[in-house]
Structure 1
Amino acid sequence: MCTGPLKKICHWGPLTALGIIKSVSFMTIHCSSMWWPPAESVGGFLNTAVFISFSALTLYNFLSAIYEGPGFLPFHWKPAVLEDAEFLQFCNTCDGYKAPRSHHCRKCGRCVLKMDHHCPWINNCVGHYNHAHFTAFLFWAVCGCLQASVVLTCSLYVALNRVWYLYYGDGRQHMVHLTVSTLAFCVFCLGLAIGVVLAVGMLLFFQVRAVVRNQTGIEDWIVEKARHRREGTNSKFIFPYNLGWKENFKQVINLSCTPVGDGVVWPVVEGCDQYTLTREQKEQKSEKRYRTRTYTALENYSGSWIPVTKGWRVLCHPPFTDECRISLRKGDTILVTRWRRYWLFGEKLQAQETSSSRRERGWFPRPCVVELIEGVPNYDLDDKTK
Structure 2
Amino acid sequence: MTRSFLLNDSVCKTFTSKCKRILHPGPIFGMGIVIYLTLIGLWIHFSTLVDVWKSFTYISLFFYCSLSIFIFRSYALSAWYGPGFVELGWKPKDPKDQTSLQYCRICDGYKAPRSHHCKACGRCVLKMDHHCPWINTCVGSTLCTYRIYYVFTRFFSIFRDVHDHRMIFSFYEIILVVIGLGVGFGVVIAVGGLAYCQIRGILRNRTVIEDWIMTKAHHRREYDLDLKEMVFPYDLGWRTNLRQVEQLQQKAHKTKSSVLLIIKRSYSGSIMPVTFGCRTLFCPPCSGEGRVAVSTGDVVLVSRSNKYWYYGQVMPPPQNNDVQFPKVPIKGWFPRLCVSTTNDSSGEDKRKQN
Q: TM-score band, normalised by the shorter chain?
A: 0.7 to 0.9
- Which of 101, 125, 128 lines up with 1:112 in the alignment? 125
- Which of 357, 362, 366 lines up with 2:336 in the alignment? 366
Distance across 2 between alignment mates of 1:62 and 1:113? 20
Report deviation, 1:89: 0.8
Distance across 2 between alignment mates of 1:131 and 1:124? 12
Closer/same/farther in 2, CA of residues 121 and 335 from structure 1, 3 Å limit: same
Matched to 1:188, the amino acid is I
8 Å CA contact 1:292, 1:337 repeated in 2: yes
Report deviation, 1:313: 3.5
Deviations 1:265-304 (A, max 9, x none): xxxx54515xx2x311111111111112122334343434
Distance across 1 between alignment mates of 2:150 and 2:216? 31
8 Å CA contact 1:91, 1:97 repeated in 2: yes
Q: Which moved more, 1:345-354 or 1:59-68?
A: 345-354
Report deviation, 1:39: 7.0
1:221 match: 212
Report deviation, 1:198: 0.7
Other structure's SS at 2:85 match: coil
Report deviation, 1:356: 7.3
Deviations 1:73-98 (A, max 9, x none): 11111112111101111111111111
- Which of 193, 205, 209 lines up with 2:200 in the alignment? 209
- What 5-or-longer segments of structure 2 have no aligned partner? 1-14, 346-354
Q: Which moved more, 1:315-324 or 1:81-90?
A: 315-324
Deviations 1:198-249 (A, max 9, x none): 11211221111111111111111111111111126272110000114xxxxx
Distance across 2 between alignment mates of 1:370 and 1:351? 18
Closer/same/farther in 2, CA of residues 36 and 297 from structure 1, 3 Å limit: farther
2:186 match: 195
Distance across 1 between alignment mates of 2:279 and 2:155? 36
Matched to 1:214, the amino acid is N
- What 5-or-longer segments of structure 1 have no aligned partner? 156-173, 245-268, 376-386
8 Å CA contact 2:234, 2:240 repeated in 1: no
Aligned pairs for 1:1-386 (under 5 A) are 3-35=16-48, 40-148=53-161, 150-151=162-163, 175-180=167-172, 182-231=173-222, 233=225, 235-244=228-237, 269-270=238-239, 272-273=241-242, 276=243, 278-305=244-271, 307-350=273-316, 358-374=328-344
Other structure's SS at 1:230 match: helix
Distance across 1 between alignment mates of 2:170 and 2:78? 36
TM-score normalised to the size of structure 1? 0.76
Taking only aligned residues, the RMSD between alpha carbons, in angstroms, comes to 2.6
Other structure's SS at 1:53 match: helix
Aligned positions, number: 325
Other structure's SS at 1:228 match: helix
Closer/same/farther in 2, CA of residues 70 and 301 from structure 1, 3 Å limit: same
1:168 match: none
Matched to 1:86, the amino acid is T
**Percent identity between the aligned chains?**
37
Other structure's SS at 1:345 match: strand
Matched to 1:340, the amino acid is N
Closer/same/farther in 2, CA of residues 284 and 21 from structure 1, 3 Å limit: same
8 Å CA contact 1:34, 1:176 repeated in 2: no
Matched to 1:236, the amino acid is E
Closer/same/farther in 2, CA of residues 131 and 305 from structure 1, 3 Å limit: farther
Distance across 1 between alignment mates of 2:339 and 2:125? 34
8 Å CA contact 2:231, 2:239 repeated in 1: no
Distance across 1 between alignment mates of 2:240 and 2:35? 50
Distance across 2 between alignment mates of 1:122 and 1:93? 23
Other structure's SS at 1:22 match: helix
Distance across 2 between alignment mates of 1:319 and 1:23? 34
TM-score normalised to the size of structure 2? 0.83
1:257 match: none
Report deviation, 1:42: 2.9
Closer/same/farther in 2, CA of residues 314 and 36 from structure 1, 3 Å limit: farther
Distance across 1 between alignment mates of 2:258 and 2:113? 25
Distance across 2 between alignment mates of 1:271 and 1:144? 40
Distance across 2 between alignment mates of 1:193 and 1:3? 32
Deviations 1:10-62 (A, max 9, x none): 11111111110001111121123224659711332233333323322211111
Q: Which moved more, 1:304-313 or 1:62-71?
A: 304-313
8 Å CA contact 1:294, 1:373 repeated in 2: no
Distance across 2 between alignment mates of 1:284 and 1:361? 19
